[in-house]
Every structure is written in C-alpha cells, then in structure tokens.
Structure 1
Amino acid sequence: MMVPVALLLLGALIAAVGPRLLARADWLEREPVVALWAWQCVVAAVLLCCVLSMTLSASVAWLTVRGQVFAPAPRPVVEAYALEAWRPWAATVAVVLACGGLWTAAMLVREIIRARSRRRRRRAELLVRAPQLPGETPASDRLVVLESERPDAWWLPGTEPRLVITTAALRRLKGRQLDAVVAHEEGHAQARHDWLLHCSGALAEGFPQVPVFAAFRREMHRLVELAADDVASRRFGRLTTALALVELNEDRGVFGPGGAPGAHVPQRVHRLLTAQSRLSATRRLRLTAFAALVPVIPLLVTFWPGLRALQ
C-alpha cells in the first residue's frame, strides 16, 4: 500500500481506537499525570500521521518538494515508496492537509489571544477590586485577597502569575485546608496546565466533527484537576484536600441531585476519600514508555520502505 494512504488510515485507526482503550483503562484516575501523557501521545500520533502524509503527498505533486525531502536518498529508496502511483490524488491531499494544518495553527493562535484577553480583563478587575497600596511593589508570585461573599480561589497565569483567593474562602477554610488549596493551584501553575487546555481547546473548536479532539479537551479538563488534587493530597492529606473542595463548592449546587452541568467536584471528592493506592513505579514507567511508542508508529510506517530498500 502507498505510504501516504497507509498513514491516513493509521491516523484514523489511532483516533478511533486510542480514546476507547484509554476509556477502558482502570488506572487513569489513579495516575492522572500518566493519563495526561498518554492522551498527548495519542493526539500527537494522529497529527504526525497527517503531517507525514502531507509531506509525502507534496513530494509526489511537486518536484521541488521531492528534491528537498529525498535529496540525500539514493534512487532505490525513492523507488521503494512507489510515489508515482499516488500522483493523481497527491496534490489534492497535500493541499487539504496543509489547509488543515494552517487552520489548526490559526485556532491555536486564536485560543492564545482569547486567553491573554481574559487574563488582561481579569487583571484589570483585580486592580479595581484590590488596588495596590501606596508604596507597594508588585511581586511575580503575589497573593491577592478579594473581598467577596463567595468562597473561591484560582491561579491567574501569565508573566506575573498570581494566586487569587476571596475573603469568604479564608473564613471557611480551616487550618491546612487553605494550604491544600494553595498547593492545588500551584500544581496547575508548575505543570503549565493552561497550555494543555489551550491546545486541546484549539483542536476541539477547530475540528468539532473529530471525536478524538472533543474527547481530548474533555479529558484534559478533568485530568488536570485530578493531577492538581494529587499534588495537594500528597502534601496535606487526602481528607484535608477533600474537605477543602467541599468547603469551596458546597454553595454552587454541585453536590445536590443531578449536580451542576459538567461539574466533576463530587467525583473528585469521592476519589480522594476512597484513597486508591498508586500504581507501582515499574508499572508507571511501562505505561509511560508504551504511550511514548504510539507516536513512533507513524515514523516506522514512513521510514520502513526506505530502510528495506537499503538492506
């Protein structure tokens, strides 16, 4: 089979099978960091299939591109790819995939612009609600306390990241519960979870008809919270972290019948209280290595004809 076609079929297979295998896995909630890595590898493999297929298709359609891609390759290697058989469809496929790549980049840029706009707006609101005192100098890790009757806390990323917490949260959170909330938000900041959310959101909005990208965004929103919960629970205990979540969210209707749409707080609290043990270090390493092999498959499919020709 022609390599560009094989890559497209492989990408479709990974997009269909990968999310199903991950949905059936029983270790995702026990190891959310490994789960985040596995999801990224699946999506990276799908995108890599498209990029490699586009490159080979462009090599067939335009001699200039072929000269750049196969410049150092001997003639038997070029012949092994049977590129001429793909010529009738090569230009169309290359252009379509290139447009998809440009659209993905445009969606990512739009997502970043939107995120920066939201941050600027929220920072402007912070300056109004919590103005700096005379003589006060801004700090990169400044803690901002807002007067509010609603308990809340969040990390505002950016060049000057800030942890924002309301006075209602300070009144409700007792002892180490406040430390657990701070550790949770710091976990988001240190792992740069905002970039994962931007990328998953850009793919899901750019290609709403592709189920793997919608599942990727949905799982990123869920797994980053679980990963941050684990950061807090390892420092201050699962019970303390669970109680802090309850105190911050009990007035939002997430614990009632049906709960709020899309709320994962009850599941997060239940997960913390059930206290499932972590996987062994050996199994975590095996899962990480296995996930890393998924993006390698498109590379093997791409280079296999050339490697066989050199034997």
Structure 2
Amino acid sequence: MAGTWSISEPDRCTGHLMANFSFSSSDSTILILTGIPGLEADHIWISIPFSAFYIMGLLGNFTVLFVVGKEQTLHKPMYLLLCMLALSDISTSTSFVPKALCIFWFNLKSITVRSCLTQMFFFHTFSTMHSTVLVAMAFDRYVAICNPLRYATILTNARIAMIGLVGFIRAVLFMLPFPLLLSRQPFCAHSMIPHTYCDHIAVAKVSCGDITASNLYGLLIAFVIVGFDLMLIGLSYALIIRTVYRISSKEANQKALNTCTAHICALLMAYPLGLFSALSHRFGQGITPHLHIILSNLNYLIPPMLNPIIYGVKTKELREKVVKYICTSSY
C-alpha cells in the first residue's frame, strides 16, 4: 500500500519523528517498542527476572507435557486439560518474551506494522485460549464432584479434544478483528509504543486515524470473553459448593474441596491482573506507566511459571510420575 501524506493529522501525531505527516499502514512502516517507560537504564537488570521466569515456565510446562505424554495412566481428561493449559502458557509467553528480551539486551526496539499486528494476533489468541482452558477445567471439577459416577461418560478424551478445538476456533474468530481493524489505520512513521510487546490498545493509541471502532471492539471483547468465562466458572463453583455442603462427612467434604485448590490458584493468578491490565490502558490515566507495563508482563510470566508447580504439588499422581522421571534421569 503506497504511503499517503497529510497535513491535517491529529495533534497526537506531532510528538513523533514525522510531525504533521503520516504514512498509511504498510509493511515498511516502522513502530518503536520502547520497553518499560522511565526504566530504560535498568532494562538489563529487569531482564534477569524476566528471562528467569520465562525459562522456568518453559521447563515446568514442557516437563508436564513430556510426563503426561509418556505415561499412559495419565491419559485422562484432567491431565489432557493440564497439557492444554501448559501449551497455552508456553505459546502466550513465547509470543512476546523473545522480543522483550531483544529490547532489554540489544536495544532492538523497531518492529514493522505487519510484525506488530502478527504478534498482537497470536498473543491475544493464545491468552484467550488460556481462559477457555480454565473454563474447561472448572467444568471438569464440577463433573468430578457433582456427577462422579458419570464422569467417565461425560468427559471422554475425545470430548476434551473437541473442547480444545472449539476454544481455539473461538479465540481465532474473536481476535482476528484486532489486527484487521488496525491494518486499515495510518501510523506515524517511528511511532513510539510504550510497551514491551504489541498489545492491542497500546498499538491503537499510536494510530493517526479514528480508533473508535477498534477501541469499542476491544472493550466489548474484554467484557464478553472474560465476563462469559468468569460467569461459567462462577456457576461451576456455585454448584460445587452446593454439592460439597450436602456431604455429611467432613473428611469427604475437605477432600472434594482440595481437588479444586490448584484450579482456584490458577484462576487467581490469571484474571485479576489481566483485568487490571485491560482496563488501566483505557481508564487508568493516573497509573504510573512503568508500573502498568511491569504488571502487564508479569501477568503472562508468573502463571506459566507457577502453574506446573502448583499442579505438581497438589496432584499426587502427576507428582509421583515427575519424581519417577527425575530419579530415573539422575542415574
């Protein structure tokens, strides 16, 4: 698409290198990811925990995938869902961490519009898939506690695979309009994006065109997907709690609740910071930029690191298999 010149672009473009002039979105237009605003001098030090969290997350999640894949006894719905969670965690963090580390280590901040929109699509698709898996895991716990005798017939491996496929298609269809809407927008050359990755609203804000439709769609998706998923999770746990309190035995009651502990921890790590990140970009004008960016990154770094640990500790069968492989490999 050819570049178009204009002398009537919005004032917010005047702060960029091409003041009062802009190019339409093209493959050659360069955007600049600044990293963490105000902390550029500390990028090297910040990269140490970032890379450590990322590597630990990869090791933990690949360990889960390897052990479940090798052990026939773990080819059950619960562990297949755990593998789906591991895959979504790996994919989400890998979609942005390598570029963030290039910014921290080598000061490679430039990115083309096409690359930026591609990263945005994959990042939001995989993070949406993560939410879908958490809903499926809540349903798994509901069936296991409320309908234990029918668990094997309701949740078969084939149905789990179908849930994963439907969840992935949902994520793709809902996230595809993000890059499509922004691909039609003009961007000032060398627009500065105050972020470590191409988050949708951060990229939309540096566009020189009208982003009303893109902004409204982003808000709609945030409330529809997160709201719908949280509603299903809340309904599952409401039914679980009702069933648990009908159990007369305190020991059985406690055992039923313990099976949900790992999933509740995953929920607490996934949703609060995610909602904060989505809303503060639009309404959190008083929030310090570097605080917002750091929390936004940690939201997609800490859960992938901790989920394998939490599920490994709380799931006896998985823990025993992991220990077995670790002990075997040490000899």
TM-score (norm 2): 0.27
Which of these two proteins has the greater Rg computed from alpha carbons? 1
Structure with the greater relative contact order (CA < 8 A, sep ≥ 6): 1 or 2? 2
